[in-house]
Homo-oligomer: A and B are copies of this chain.
C-alpha cells in the first residue's frame, strides 16, 4: 500500500491532500506553518515535524511549493527531502518550476536510487477542491504508472509529456498562453470600452464567439464586479512568464507576445497589484483609457 507524504499545504496543497485522505489514502503532511494542517488532521492526516520525517515515513511524496528557491530549500536543505529519502521512493513535484531544476532534481533523486516526476497541474483553487486538476507529467512512464491512483484522487486527467523536465516545460508553455489570453481579453475590452460599448454586452459577446476562452469565462464575472480576489495571483503569473521567457531564451525560440505580456504584468506588479488576481491587470488599462472598464458592484462606492 502506498504511504503518501505531502509537503506544502497552501491554497492548492491543502485541498489536494484533503482529496487524498477522502479517497482513503494514508497521508503524512508537513507545512512550515503547522496550523494549516488542522483540517487535514480531522480527515485522518498525520503531522510530521520535519521534511525529513515525511521522507522517512512515505514511499510516495508530493511537493507543492511556490517557487524554485523554496523547492531548493525543501529538497537540498539540512534534513532535506533528498537526504532522508528511502531507496525506491517516488517524488512528484506539482509546483511550477524551471525545467532545468526539474532535471536536476531527477538526477539527484536517482543518486539516492529514488525516482522523480515533475508533475505540475492546471486548474486553480476550485479544481484542487473538486479533484479535477489536470496533471502534466515529465519522467519515466513506468514510474508514473505506479502513482496514477493517488494522482487521480486529486485530478481528473494525467497527460504524460515526456522525460523529466517535460512537465515543467509544458506548464510554462501552457501558462504563457493563459497569461496572453487574459491580457488579450482585457486589451479587447479596453478598446470596446473606450469605444463606448457596455462591458457586460461585450463580455457576453466574447463568451458567445470566437474570442471565447477559459480565461474569459473565469474572468468576465470578476471584471464586471471588479472583484480582484485571487483565483491565480498576478505575481505568480508574472513569475511563470519570467521562467517561460528564460526558457524561450535558452531554446532560442522568438516569443514576441510573451515579451509584450510580461511587460504588462510587470508594470501591474510594479504598481502593487501583484497580490491580487491576474485580472487586476485591468487597472493598468483603466489608467490608460481614463475610465473604469466596468461599473463594479454597487457596494463599491459605499
Q: Are B190 and A253 in contact (CB under 8 A)?
A: yes
**Of the residues B190, B248, B290, contact of A191 by C-beta under 8 Å:** B248
For the complex formed by this chain, how many copies does it contain in all? 4
Given contacts A211-B214, A212-B213, A287-B271, contact A170 B253 (CB under 8 A): no
Q: Are B252 and A256 in contact (CB under 8 A)?
A: no
Residues of B close to A245: CB separation below 8 A? 245, 249
Tell yes or no: A44 within 8 A of B by CB: no
Given contacts A209-B134, A245-B249, contact A177 B188 (CB under 8 A): yes
**Of the residues B165, B247, B266, contact of A254 by C-beta under 8 Å:** B266
Q: Are B270 and A211 in contact (CB under 8 A)?
A: no
Interface string of A168-188 (1 = CB under 8 A from B): 011011111110110111011
**A159 CA / B218 CA spacing, docked (Å):** 21
Q: Are B211 and A181 in contact (CB under 8 A)?
A: yes
Q: Are B197 and A162 in contact (CB under 8 A)?
A: yes
Tell yes or no: A32 within 8 A of B by CB: no
**A197 CA / B138 CA spacing, docked (Å):** 10
Q: Are B181 and A196 in contact (CB under 8 A)?
A: no
Could you tell me the distance in whole angstroms from the C-beta of A286 to the nearest C-beta in chain B? 10
- Interface SS majority for chain A: helix
How many of A's residues come within 8 Å of B, CB to CB?
Answer: 86
Interface string of A248-268 (1 = CB under 8 A from B): 110111111111111110110
Tell yes or no: A205 within 8 A of B by CB: yes
Could you tell me the distance in whole angstroms from the C-beta of A274 to the nearest C-beta in chain B? 9
Q: Are A288 and B266 in contact (CB under 8 A)?
A: yes
Given contacts A161-B202, A191-B247, contact A175 B211 (CB under 8 A): yes
Residues of B close to A124: CB separation below 8 A? 210
Could you tell me the distance in whole angstroms from the C-beta of A152 to the nearest C-beta in chain B? 14
Closest to A136 in B: B205
**A259 CA / B264 CA spacing, docked (Å):** 11
**Of the residues B176, B259, B269, B270, contact of A188 by C-beta under 8 Å:** B176
Residues of B close to A288: CB separation below 8 A? 253-254, 266-267, 270-271
Q: Are A176 and B184 in contact (CB under 8 A)?
A: yes
**A210 CA / B285 CA spacing, docked (Å):** 22
Interface string of A51-82 (1 = CB under 8 A from B): 00000000000000000000000000000000
For the complex of A and B, the 9 pairs showing the least CB-CB separation, nearest first, are A259-B259, A122-B209, A213-B213, A180-B184, A177-B211, A173-B192, A169-B195, A177-B188, A256-B263
Chain A residues close to B by CB (< 8 Å):
99, 122-124, 134, 136, 157, 159-163, 165-166, 169-170, 172-178, 180-181, 183-185, 187-192, 194-198, 201-202, 204-206, 208-216, 218, 232, 242, 244-249, 251-264, 266-267, 269-271, 285, 287-290
